[in-house]
Structure 1
Amino acid sequence: MVKIAPSLLAADFAALGAEAARAEAAGADLLHLDIMDGHFVPNISFGPQAVRAIRQHTRLPLDVHLMITRPDEYLAEFAAAGADIISVHAETCLHLSRTLQRIRELGKVPAVALNPATPLTVLEYVLDLTGLILLMTVNPGFGGQQFLPAVLPKIAALATLLKERSRAIPIEVDGGINAATARPAVQAGAGVLVAGSAVFGQADLQAAVAGLRRAAAGEGAGR
C-alpha cells in the first residue's frame, strides 16, 4: 500500500504540534520534516528542537529530511530528538556509506535523497546500507513547486534497478505531489508520497489524505 507522508513545511509553524496530531488523526502514515540550512538550499526551516517538540505530539514515524551541507555533524542530535528515518543528500556527503552506517548505528532508518539532476549511479555501492531512497521531484528549497515530469523515468529506472538487485527498498518522492501527480509517480514505482500543500493546504486533512490515496490508486482525483 502506498504511504502518505504529509510535509510539515506546509503546516502552520505556530502550531506544529497540533498540526502533527491533526495529520495523525487524518490517517497519515508518517510525517515528513524538511530540515533546511540556508546553504544547501536557499531557505531555513527548523532544527532538532522542533523535531523534539513535534515528537511529543504524535506517534507517527518522523521522516527527517536533512537538506543541509554538513549532515554528519547533526545525525546524533536529530536521532536523539526523535527522528525515525534520517535522509541525507548524496550531494552533501563526502563519504556516503560512512554516513549511512552511522545512521544505522544510531538505531534509525538510513535514507539517501537525490536531487532531480543527480544520477542513480551514486547509489551503486550503498544499496546494502539504505533503508529508503528519496527522489526529489522538484529542486529542493521551497514548498509549493510544480512536479517535474522529467523525474518519472528516473523513478521507473530506480524501481527496475531495485527489482534486478532483489532489494525491497521503498522509493519516496517529494515535491509537487497532489491528486494529479500521485498516480503517475506510483505507476513509475513510488511507494511513499510526500505531500505538503496538498494536505496541509486543505481545510479537511482527512479528506485530503484519503483523496491522495484514491488518486494514487487510480480511483479518481479525490479532494
Structure 2
Amino acid sequence: MLKAIISPSVLASDFGQLSAECKRMMDGGAEWLHMDVMDGHFVPNITMGAPILSCVHKGVPGIFMDCHMMVSEPEKWVDDIANAGGSLYCFHLEATSAPTSLIQKIHDRGMKAGVAISPDTPSSVVTNEIGSAADMILVMTVYPGRGGQKFIERCVPKVSELRARFPDKDIEVDGGVGPTTVGKCADAGSNVIVAGTAIFSADDPNGVIASLKSTVNTAQEKIAQERA
C-alpha cells in the first residue's frame, strides 16, 4: 500500500510570510510542500526561483520541497534547485527532448525526479522507460500556469492508466483538487495530492489535510486488497 502524501501548493499561500506558511502546513500534517516554479516562458506567469526556495529551506527545518518546474529548458535549473535544498525536481515532459538523461542528472544531485504531463498530453508519453526511471509521475488536472482553476475531470483516466502500468510508483495529481474532487483522484490511484486554495483558504486547514489523507488511505487500502 502506497503512502498517502498531501503536498499543499504554496501558490495559494501568503507569499509575504512564505516560510511561516510552509511551517503551518507541516505542523498541520502535510508531508510535502508543493513549490510552483514558473519562468514566464513555459507558462505565462512568473512565481519563485532558487533564491526564494533557499530561504524557505533555511527557515523551515525538515521541509520536503516538491518542486514543480513549469519552465522551459528544465535541464538548466537542476543545480540551482539542488543547491537551494529542493527535495524533488518535477519537470514537464513537454519541455524536454531528453527526459531519461535529465532524470539521471536530477538523481546525481541527490533529488528525487518527477515527470509531469499537462491536460492535453496523453499518458502514453510516459513510456515504461521514463516511468520506471522517475520517482513520481504528476498528472495535471488544470492547465499549468496559475492557481484557482476548475478541476478537469477528463484527466482522471490518465491516472488510472498510469497506475495500472506503475503499481508501486508515487502518482501525484495537481489542479483544482479539494474535498469534493479528491475522491475521483484517489479512486483512480493517485496517492500524492496537491491542493492549494482548498487548504490555505480553509477555516480548518488541518482538518482538510486530514480529510484528504483519509480519502487517499481508504482508496489505497481498496487497491491493495484488489491486488492481493
TM-score w.r.t. length of structure 2: 0.90
Q: Which residue of 147, 150, 166 corresponds with 2:154? A: 150
Which residue number in structure 2 is paired with residue 41 of structure 1?
43
Q: CA deviation at 1:122?
A: 1.9
Residues 45-102 of structure 1 show CA distances to partners (whole Å, capped at 9, x for unaligned) of 0000111111121413110010000111110000110001000100001211111110
Q: CA deviation at 1:211?
A: 2.7
Q: Does residue 63 of structure 1 match 2:89?
A: no
Contact 1:41 1:140 in 2 (8 A): yes
C-alpha separation in 1, matches of 2:56 and 2:14 = 12
Q: Which amino acid aligns with 1:87?
A: C
Partner residue in 2 for 1:189: 189
Q: Report SS of the residue matched to 1:5.
A: strand
Q: Report the equivalent of 1:104.
A: 107
Aligned length: 215
Provide, for residues 98-123 of structure 1, a one-character-per-residue CA deviation record: whole Å limited to 9, x for no partner: 11110011111011000011122222
Residue 137 of structure 2 aligns to a residue in which SS? strand
Q: TM-score, normalised by structure 1?
A: 0.92
For residue 208 of structure 2, give the secondary structure of its aligned residue in structure 1.
helix
The separation in 1 between residues aligned to 2:156 and 2:131, in whole angstroms, is 21
Q: Which has the higher helix share?
A: 2
Question: Quick check: 1:5–1:30 contact (8 Å CA) kept in 2?
Answer: yes
Give distance in 2, aligned partners of 1:187 and 1:176: 16
1:6 and 1:23 mapped to 2: Cα distance? Answer: 7
Structure 1: distance between partners of 2:133 and 2:166: 13
The whole-number CA distance in structure 1 between the counterparts of 2:181 and 2:217 is: 12
Tell me what 1:176 maps to. Answer: 176
- Distance in 1, matches of 2:125 and 2:177, equals 24
Cα 1:128–1:159 shift into 2, 3 Å: closer
Match of 2:212 in 1: 212
Post-superposition offset of 1:38: 1.1
Cα shift at 1:187: 0.2
Q: Where does the alignment leave 5 or more consecutive residues of structure 1 unmatched?
A: none
CA–CA distance in 2 between the matches of 1:36 and 1:153? Answer: 26
| Aligned equivalents of 2:51, 2:203: Cα separation in 1 | 27
> What secondary structure, in the 3-state scheme, does the structure 1 residue paired with 2:179 have?
coil
**Partner amino acid for 1:30?**
W
- What does 1:113-132 align with in structure 2 at a 5 Å threshold? 113-124=116-127, 125-132=129-136
Q: Is the 8 A contact 1:41 1:141 kept in 2?
A: yes
Contact 1:183/1:218 (<8 A) preserved = no
For the residue of structure 2 that corresponds to 1:42, the secondary structure is: coil
Q: Give the Cα–Cα distance (whole angstroms) in 1 for the partners of residues 95 and 74 of structure 2.
A: 7
| Distance in 2 separating the partners of 1:18 and 1:205 | 14
- Cα deviation, residue 157, structure 1: 0.7
For structure 1, which segment, 81-90 or 154-163, has the greater mean C-alpha deviation from structure 2 after superposition? 154-163
In the alignment, the residues of structure 1 paired with residue 217 and residue 130 of structure 2 have an alpha-carbon distance, to the nearest angstrom, of: 31
The answer as to whether partners of 1:86 and 1:103 remain within 8 angstroms in 2 is yes
* Deviation string, structure 1 residues 125-164 (Cα, Å, up to 9, x no partner): 312320000010111111111111101111111111113x
Aligned letter for 2:199? V
CA distance in structure 2 between the aligned counterparts of 1:122 and 1:75, rounded to whole angstroms: 22
- Whether 1:80 and 2:64 are equivalent positions in the alignment is no
Question: Which residue of 2 is the match for residue 162 of structure 1?
Answer: 166
| Secondary structure in structure 1 of the residue aligned to 2:103 | helix
